[in-house]
Structure 1
Amino acid sequence: MRANFRMQRLFIDAPLALGQRHEVSAEQFNYLANVLRLTEGAEILAFNGRDGEWRVKVTFPSRKKIALEAAEQTRPQPAASDLHYLFAPLKVGRLDYLVQKAVEMGAGLLQPVMTQHVQGKITSLERLQANVIEAAEQCGILSVPEVVPPKKLGDLLDQWPEDRRIIFCDEGDEGQNPLPVLSAVQEKKLALLIGPEGGFSEEERRSLRERPFVTAIPLGPRILRADTAAVAALAVIQATIGDWR
């Protein structure tokens, strides 16, 4: 069932079931009452990442409070995406974009990875999670991806489960076409690794290529910025071995 983009969507961190009432936060009150100017009896869509999507009625228990009452489930909860997205942090503005696009493209888990040439840093997981939620609200996504704490690349590889294949975008790969390489991947559990703006170091590239659970792919003849490479790689993976098939 496709998302209804004519109605406003809101993420709430509370159970959703028929007749269930939930009082929104002060920030959400301001958004609903002062930005959207919703009135008593208005209807929006709400989701929590667990109970599907619901049509909810807006009520005002008091002048400064809004409660949402679940009236009807409009979409059941789908299975969460199992694609892990591993990325070197970028500078703040581009990092926000990167996170939002990863959610839109079907990432199920977001893992920041600290590499030798990384230029950005993670100052707040809460900010990243807020970007994830905003992207889910705007794009009709019901399974909200998890953002996990950063890890150094070496530690990540040493602790990696070998039943999940990492697709590694290698800017130094001599090929141009990723499709034949991806078509040969047999594993169902996948992760995509995108490097920093300065690229991976030669030591990191060598370490990645030595791991039996890593597959290196090129991304065509052009040099792509890290955030552009992320969208391109996610699209290629979803189209060849992901959920676009």
Structure 2
Amino acid sequence: MPRSHKTLSRLFIDAPLSAGASVELGREQTNYVLTVMRMKAGEALVVFNGRDGAWMARIADAHRKGAVLEIVVQTQHQTPKSDLWFGFAPLKTGRLDYLVQKATEMGAGVIQPVITRYTQVQKLKADKLVANVIEAAEQCEVLSVPEIRAEVGLTELLAHWQQTQGLRRLVFCDESAPTHSPLRQLRDLDGLPIGILVGPEGGFSDDERNHLLAQGFVVPISLGPRILRADTAAVAALTVVQSIIGDWR
């Protein structure tokens, strides 16, 4: 998608957006706009909220306790929410941040941490995950901001999959699968809602793998002849799905 107003800073704000509206920023975003970005009253930026598209705004008032933005004109219409579900086993800080940002950039609509036997991190800071999603959305002009869901155990996820997900198929990135192109398997899923599941650094246990393969809604695929790090596998899986049956076509 061509970039819009790429010379202007972008800011996510959780407030309704419409022409002529005024939005007062909180202390943290005020500090970011005035101190970090060194913007001043009268200067323009692009704002979005994940619901109302992107809008050009001007800083109408600038003071340390809370800058005020005047919403001027819409620059992009809101894009539809992505239906792509992305599940992953949480990684250590740094690589976890990278993974969540890339999932946002690659068009995930739901980002779901899944706890497995070899998961490196059991407890997550939801606010940090949300902050990483928003940062990626600001940098890459993503208007449909993904939903971050609370972590869930793999067994619980599979037990309730069909009740909560309906016809959605779960594409399971299986490092133990025979190496071959996933083209045919994915094309067979064209038109169906899709989920992607990527495991932890140590892979899935034998019991977990067998449990996954026993589910009728699970579709195992190979990501090639090399063992990939979990964050690399996530980007590879998202790329394959988006290019074959996703929104890259």
> Please, what TM-score do these two structures have when normalized by structure 1?
0.97
Measured in 1, the distance between the counterparts of 2:190 and 2:36 equals: 48
Measured in 2, the distance between the counterparts of 1:234 and 1:59 equals: 41
CA deviation after TM superposition for structure 1 residue 3, in Å: 3.1
Q: How does 1:58-207 map to 2 (within 5 A)?
A: 58-60=59-61, 62=63, 64-161=65-162, 162-207=166-211
CA deviation after TM superposition for structure 1 residue 121, in Å: 2.8
What is aligned with 1:231?
Answer: 235
CA deviation after TM superposition for structure 1 residue 78, in Å: 1.1
What is aligned with 1:241?
Answer: 245
Contact 2:90 2:200 (8 Å CA) reproduced: yes
Contact 1:174 1:218 (8 Å CA) reproduced: yes
Residues 92 and 62 (structure 1), Cα distance of their counterparts in 2 relative to 1, 3 Å cut: closer
CA deviation after TM superposition for structure 1 residue 185, in Å: 1.5
Measured in 2, the distance between the counterparts of 1:220 and 1:170 equals: 10
What is aligned with 1:222?
Answer: 226
Output the amino acid matched with 1:113. V
Residues 132-141 or 159-168, more deviating = 159-168
1:61-119 per-position Cα deviation (integer Å, ceiling 9, x unaligned): 64543111110000011101100000000011110000000000000000000011111
Contact 2:79 2:143 (8 Å CA) reproduced: yes
Secondary structure of the corresponding residue to residue 92 of structure 1? coil
In structure 2, runs of 5+ residues without a counterpart are none
In structure 1, runs of 5+ residues without a counterpart are none
Measured in 2, the distance between the counterparts of 1:110 and 1:98 equals: 10
1:104-155 per-position Cα deviation (integer Å, ceiling 9, x unaligned): 0000000000011111233311110110000000000001111011110010
Choose which of 209, 214, 217 in structure 2 pairs with 1:213: 217
Output the amino acid matched with 2:72. A
Alignment root-mean-square deviation, CA:
1.2
> Please, what TM-score do these two structures have when normalized by structure 2?
0.95
Measured in 2, the distance between the counterparts of 1:227 and 1:122 equals: 18
Residues 57-66 or 15-24, more deviating = 57-66
Contact 1:53 1:75 (8 Å CA) reproduced: yes
Residues 160-169 or 222-231, more deviating = 160-169
Q: How does 1:37-76 map to 2 (within 5 A)?
A: 37-60=38-61, 62=63, 64-76=65-77
Measured in 1, the distance between the counterparts of 2:63 and 2:153 equals: 49
What is aligned with 1:27?
Answer: 28
Residues 58-67 or 150-159, more deviating = 58-67
Residues 67 and 199 (structure 1), Cα distance of their counterparts in 2 relative to 1, 3 Å cut: same
Secondary structure of the corresponding residue to residue 65 of structure 1? coil
Contact 1:96 1:131 (8 Å CA) reproduced: yes
Percent identity at matched positions? Answer: 51
Measured in 1, the distance between the counterparts of 2:246 and 2:84 equals: 8
CA deviation after TM superposition for structure 1 residue 6, in Å: 1.7
CA deviation after TM superposition for structure 1 residue 187, in Å: 4.4
Measured in 1, the distance between the counterparts of 2:197 and 2:22 equals: 41
